[in-house]
Amino acid sequence: MKLLFLGDIVGEPGRKAAKALVPALRARHGLHCVIANGENSAGGSGITPDTAAEIFSGGVDIITTGDHLWDQKEVSHLLVHEPRFVRPLNYPAGTPGQGSALHRVEGFAPVAVMNLQGRVFMPDLDNPFRRVRTELDRLREITPVIFVDFHAEATSEKIAFARMLDGQVSAVVGTHTHVQTADEQIFPGGTAFLCDAGFTGAHESVLGREIEPVVRRFLTNQPQRLDVAKRRVLLQGALIEVDEKSGKALRIERVSEPLSAHPGSV
Residues known to be catalytic: 68
Sequence-distant (6+) residues with CB within 8 A of 245 are 109, 144
263 close to 32: Cβ distance less than 8 angstroms: no
CA distances in angstroms from 54 to 49, 101, 225, listed in the order given: 9, 19, 25
d(CA 227, CA 221): 17
Mode of pairing for the β-strands spanning 185-186 and 192-194 = antiparallel
Picking from 133, 94, 100, the residue whose alpha carbon sits closest to that of residue 115 is: 100
* Rg value, the chain, Cα: 17
Half-sphere exposure of 198 (CA within 13 A, CB side): 24
| Element of type H or E holding 79 | helix 75-81
* E strand segments, 10-157: 33-37, 62-64, 100-103, 111-117, 146-151
Rounded distance between C-alpha atoms, residue 106 and residue 120, angstroms:
39
How many C-alpha atoms does 152 have within 13 Å on its Cβ side?
29
